[in-house]
Structure 1
Amino acid sequence: MNNLRLELLECAPGAESSLMARTKAEEFSELLKAVADPTRLQILAMIAKSDQKEACVCNLTGPLRLSQPTISHHLKKLSEVGIINRERRGTWVWYSLNTERWGQIAKLFS
């Protein structure tokens, strides 16, 4: 019985480990859910690899073979969680990566 107790104590988290606050966990969960969609990952990759690091819906519909409303829906979801920025230029809206938000994802696992 003492061996079992010792094994349990050895695997228990140490005093230096900390639990993420529930509200922060829920916020990151929404972010990760939004990013985990295959189409959204493709959109993010296209924006990141573009010459100006930005794109509008018109740049995305052809390569993704999706309609403008579908692309707009995905962009809205990404914008809602703050992973992309929106900038209106006349009648077009241009999207770029929010590098600060990307950094938060990286720090989450460090």
Structure 2
Amino acid sequence: MTSRTDLPLTDVTCCAPLTREPLTAPAAEALSRTLKAIADPTRLRLLSMVAAHEGAEACVCDLTEPLGLTQPTVSHHLKVLVDAGLLTRDKRGVWAYFALVPGALASLAAVLSSQQPLAFATV
């Protein structure tokens, strides 16, 4: 009979090592806010509609009718997307124009696809 102390010792690692930095607490908070902003079907449609407009910019007046929502409701959803860092707002006269933040969607996609380091702190 062989005792446990007679068995050969092997260096076995139970877990795979990290290959990149995990999310920091502040980056997780920022990512969470962004994901909450886009976790609404109306907001996803708004992002798609703005992206589909020439120059990836649209007036709020162009967005209300296709959604079948009132201007205040659409404006609320757009504000959430602006606050999340996905859209910019430019006031021209009485109308507000919204544009995609350059690189914001690409940064979000990179984090979600795990192809790049998780440095998602500003989007």
Question: If the length of structure 2 is used for normalisation, what is the TM-score?
Answer: 0.76
**What's the CA shift for 1:63?**
0.5
Which has the higher relative contact order, 1 or 2, with Cα contacts under 8 A spaced 6 or more apart?
2
Distance 1:84 1:15 in 2: 33
Higher share in helix: 1
- Report percent identity of matched pairs: 40
In the comparison of the two structures, how many residue pairs are matched?
102
Per-residue CA distance 1:14-47 (angstroms, 9 max, x = gap): 1434321011011001101101210000001011
Residue ranges of structure 2 left out of the alignment (5+ in a row): 1-11, 116-123
Per-residue CA distance 1:65-107 (angstroms, 9 max, x = gap): 0000100000000000110011111111100101222222122
Residue ranges of structure 1 left out of the alignment (5+ in a row): 1-5
Paired residue secondary structure (2:55): coil
* Aligned pairs (5 A) from 1:80-95: 80-95=83-98
The one of 29, 41, 46 equivalent to 1:43 is: 46
Question: CA RMSD, aligned part only?
Answer: 1.5
Q: Which runs of 4+ in 1 moved over 6 A?
A: none
Distance 2:65 2:19 in 1: 50
Question: If the length of structure 1 is used for normalisation, what is the TM-score?
Answer: 0.84
